[in-house]
Each structure stands twice: as C-alpha cells, then as structure tokens.
Amino acid sequence: MTPTNKQLVPIGPFPAGIDNRSEETDLATDKDGNVIAARALVNVDIDDKGKASTRKGRTKVYDGTNCHSGFYCKQFPWALFVEDNTLKAIRPDWNPVTIRAGLTPQATVSYAEINGEIYWSNDYENGRISRDLEDLPFGLEGPSGPPLVAVVTDQGGLAAGRYQVSATWQTTDSLGNPFEESGAPGATVITVPAGGGIACSAIPQPTDARATLVNLYVSEPDGDELRRGYTLPVGITEFTIGQGRRLNTLNTMLASPMPPGQIVRGYNGRSVVACEKYLRHSVPLHFGLTRLRMDFEQEPARITMAEPVGAADIAGIFVSSANRIWFLAGNFSPERAHIPRRRVHDFGAVFGTSCVAPGKWFDPTLTGDVIFFVDTAGTALIGLPDGSVRVVTRDYAAPEADFGSVMLREINGTRRILANMHGTKNKARSGDFVTARVVRNGLSQ
C-alpha cells in the first residue's frame, strides 16, 4: 500500500545513525547508557541532531507498468524514465511524452547532461534528447567515402604539390547557422601542377534529413593537416577547388557515431561511454563522435562504474572493473597512448550505485563535487578529484546486490543519498529503508 501524507512524528534520537555491523546487544550508547544507534529504520528520516521522524507519504502521479531507469537533473527541464520498452519524458503536469519506442526490454538506460542535451545509452541502443524533446541520434552519420577528384590544369591557381581532400556533413540550427558536424571518411590524394585546381565529383550527399550542408576539406600542398575550404548546400555534387582561404582544421577524421554502452557520462568537453570492457571517449566538443580504433581505454572486464570528477587539471575518472577501482587522472590526449592511471580500491563498485554529489555533504572542508558509490563489500565511499577514496561510514553494510540505483534528496535541510540495491541477492529498496546517514567528525551532514 502507498502511505498517505501525514504529520511528521518525532522519534529517536539516533545521533550515531544506523549500525548493522555490530551485534544488536552492542549498539552505540551515550554517556547515560541510552542506545543512540538503530539496526534499521522503516519509513523515517533522521535530522542533523539525530532525531528520527516518520517520513512523509507519497502520492502516485503516474500509473505505469514495468518502469525503470529514472533520471532528472536541474539542467534539463524534463524527468526521464523507461516504461516497458519505451523511453519517455514526464511533463510538469505529470503527463508522459514518448521519446522512443522499441528499446530492448529490461535494458537499463544511463543518461548524461552534456551541453544542454541529454545523451543516453543502454547496451543495445543510444541517442540524445534536445530540450524540445526531439529524439536525435547520439552522433551524426558521415560520408562513406570522399569525393572523386581529378586535376584541372587551366583553372584553380593552386601551388604545385600533393593535396588531400575529404568531406563532412553538417546540420544547421534554427537560425541557419552550422551546428552538428559528422565525421570524415578519410582523404583522397591528388598531385596538382602549378596553377591547377581539383575537380570534385560524386560529392557524397547526406542520408540524414537534418544535414543541409556539405563541407569540403583540403590540405596545403604536401601537407597533412586538412582545413575547411568550402561549405556547399546539399544537392551540389560537383565543385572545383582552387585558391581560397582555409578555415578551421578537420578534427573528425575517421570519426563515427559512438556505439551503445552501459554507462554514459560527460567529461572535460567529451562524452565518455563504457562499452562492455572498453571506456570510449568522444572527439573533443563532438560529443556524439569517436574514432573506434583510437579513442578508448581497455579494462580487464565489463565496466561497472565510470564516474568523472573534478575539472581542468585536477580531474579524473573513477573506473570499476574486475572487482577493482582505478583512477584515470587528467585528460585524454592524442599525444599519448593511454591516460595515466592508478589502482585506488581493492573492491569494485556495484553497477548503478554511483553519482556525483556536493563534497560538503560529507565534509564541510570539501568545496567541490565528489563521487559517491557503494562497493561490492557493501561499504559506502566517496572519491575525490585527486583520486583518493574515503569511507563514508563503517557502521552500515549494504546488502549484496547485482546492481542498484541512487538518488540525491534534500528535504527541510536534511540531506540524503538513497540507494536501491537490486538483483538476485536481495530486494532492498530505499523507498522502504533508510540505508545510511553520513556522519563526519561527529556531525551529521
């Protein structure tokens, strides 16, 4: 039965929080011998003074079936969830809007807010959602090959040399400005005599109706860096390249749309997707594109956590694989084969139990964000931008679980991270049990 809203009734206090590691006869007491810890508390909240009050009831707002993979963040105006095999958004009036149907049944969806849009993925499908609830592909498909090229000797005015030519497709925004760009398929090479030009034919045309522009990229004579020379409207299949001002550098060479994966996150101008045991990252500022043969870190087993933290130079990603946790420090770079890493914890993270949280929730001296997660030993921990790991509490051990989910909650100044633990090993749910209370230096945070 769903409890109804009612007056909060004070009970407790329990300043020592919940303790399920000690014997029932050996719980913490105060100086007067009063028990100040609890083995379990059902439908209650604990305030910063240790007083427990019956939790407010809840009201059903949508009668869905087989709902899972809920998501909400302050930067996006809609809440998202999956019902059966359909990804939906909830309006403020609680009426759902279908985003995409036909998803693989029971496949857990991961989300990330990146540049004002929501990028989402499960093991089988992925996509992104605009603020207007458009169902968009994760990344824009590109041409399968470059244009055909031939030498023009009587026009063009190019310097003699060896040139490379390639092409991309591009969408436009509501004002007609270039917006999302595809990857480039590689370059074709041609040698041009002095004063000549490059005749392009069979210029590839977009398959996505949103793409309305074709960009032609060309190198300098005997150079390897391609720069955008011309932007053509869709429909033009022949064009001659001659002298002209070269614009921005092509940085999506050999890039294609990101494949689906079990976890998606944003990190320092990139998207990061855990695809089984591969941690793939996007081309910088092209969040939907990746170079499949280059842009990844390989882990020993399926990744169960990939959680970025920090910014700029003091940043990294906590990655859980093979029941261990590594910290990948710094940023991805084409100048080095792999991002520096070190092992920071000898247990793995339970899939789905990690999130980013304000550091001050755990320690008043922490000014930035940290990550929270539950490890496979049932311990709640936080990870800091320098790669260090701290135990939140040793008094409570979460039940063993195959996977879980977490939610940040703050009501009347009381802050909580609620964890659902699921799977074949247990059926614990945060809606029924308060699983942990954060205590730091004797103070409830």
Rounded to the nearest 5 percent, the helix, strand and coil shares of the chain are 0, 45, 55
Query: Would you say residue 376 has pLDDT above 70?
Result: yes
pLDDT digits (tens, 9 = 90+) for 252-294: 999 999 999 999 999 999 999 999 999 999 999 999 999 999 9
Tokens coding 218: 């060309």
Overall size of the chain counted in residues: 445
Cis peptide bond N-terminal to 15, omega within 30: no
Q: Are 126 and 262 in contact (CB under 8 A)?
A: no
| Mean pLDDT, rounded, for 213-228 | 96
Residue in the structure block whose two tokens are 């944003």: 266
Cis peptide bond N-terminal to 259, omega within 30: no
pLDDT digits (tens, 9 = 90+) for 348-368: 999 999 999 999 988 889 989
Tokens coding 189: 């090479």
What's phi and psi for 161, nearest 5 deg? 155, 180
Partners of 156 in the beta sheet?
Answer: none
Task: Assign 48 a pLDDT band (cuts: 50, 70, 90).
Answer: low
Task: Assign 418 a pLDDT band (cuts: 50, 70, 90).
Answer: confident
Query: Would you say residue 394 has pLDDT above 80?
Result: no
Tokens coding 305: 């956590």
pLDDT digits (tens, 9 = 90+) for 20-44: 666 766 777 777 777 667 777 677 7
Q: Which residue has the higher pLDDT, 1 or 45?
A: 45
How buried is 31 (Cβ within 10 angstroms: 0-12 exposed, 13-18 middle, 19+ buried)?
exposed
Q: Are 185 and 164 in contact (CB under 8 A)?
A: no
Give ∠ CA 92-94-98 in degrees, rounded to 5.
100
Q: What 3-state DSSP class applies to 154?
A: coil
What's phi and psi for 26, nearest 5 deg? -130, 35
Q: Are 306 and 279 in contact (CB under 8 A)?
A: yes
CA–CA dist 158, 330 (Å, integer): 42
Give the H/E segment covering residue 279. strand 278-281
Which domains does the chain carry? 67-140+257-444 (2.130.10.10), 148-241 (no CATH)
Task: Look up the pTM and report it.
Answer: 0.85
Query: Would you say residue 436 has pLDDT above 50?
Result: no
Q: What 3-state DSSP class applies to 120?
A: strand
Q: Which residue has the higher pLDDT, 427 or 444?
A: 427
Query: Would you say residue 425 has pLDDT above 60?
Result: no
Residue in the structure block whose two tokens are 């060479």: 253
Tokens coding 351: 């899939």
pLDDT digits (tens, 9 = 90+) for 61-95: 888 899 999 999 988 989 999 999 999 999 878 88
pLDDT at 176: 76
Q: What 3-state DSSP class applies to 25?
A: helix
Q: What 3-state DSSP class applies to 361?
A: helix
How buried is 275 (Cβ within 10 angstroms: 0-12 exposed, 13-18 middle, 19+ buried)?
buried
Query: Would you say residue 101 has pLDDT above 90?
Result: yes
> CB neighbours (10 Å) of residue 281?
24
**Residue among 418, 377, 417, 383 nearest 401 (CA):** 377
